Amino acid sequence: MNLVVHSRDYPILDVTVQHTQPVRLRFQGDSFDELPPLVTILHPDGTAHRGPFPPGGVFNAGPHSKHGGPFVCMRGSRDYHTHHLEDAWSNYRGQDGMGIVGILMQLASVWRKGT
């Protein structure tokens, strides 16, 4: 998997997933792992990505109920756990693959399969 790292200065991990249709994912890890990371979906140039997104709903065009706009709707993302209150982050925190890099790899896989 080809990734371009733009920043890895705490609390930010900012990465472009290279693909025929690349996507940039900015992880804000303030309070990690008390809270899951906030993931912002961007174009490779850093501008807001409004779609189209791969099918399946993980990359959701929104609007998100708390902040509006597109969001990542997958366990392990802050937007998922603020929307799906019945599925608490504490159910996943500390599990293999649920660190920030593991979540990045899951999202990159979903993006690459869907585009």
The domains of the chain, with CATH numbers, are: 3-114 (3.10.110)
Burial class of residue 105, CB neighbours in 10 A (0-12, 13-18, 19+): middle
pTM of the predicted model as reported, rounded to 2 decimal places: 0.95
Residue 111 has pLDDT above 90, yes or no: yes
* pLDDT tens profile 13-69: 999 999 999 999 999 999 999 999 999 999 999 999 999 999 999 999 999 988 889
For residues 24 and 47, what is the distance between their CA atoms, to the nearest angstrom? 9
Mean pLDDT of 73-90: 96
Mean pLDDT of 98-103: 97
Which residues lie closer than 8 Å to 19 by C-beta, 6 or more apart?
2, 111, 112, 115
For residues 44 and 68, what is the distance between their CA atoms, to the nearest angstrom? 21
Residue 31's φ and ψ, nearest 5 degrees, are: 65, 15
Q: How many CB atoms sit inside 10 A of residue 110's CB? A: 19
- CB of 3 within 8 A of CB of 16? yes
For residues 54 and 60, what is the distance between their CA atoms, to the nearest angstrom? 9
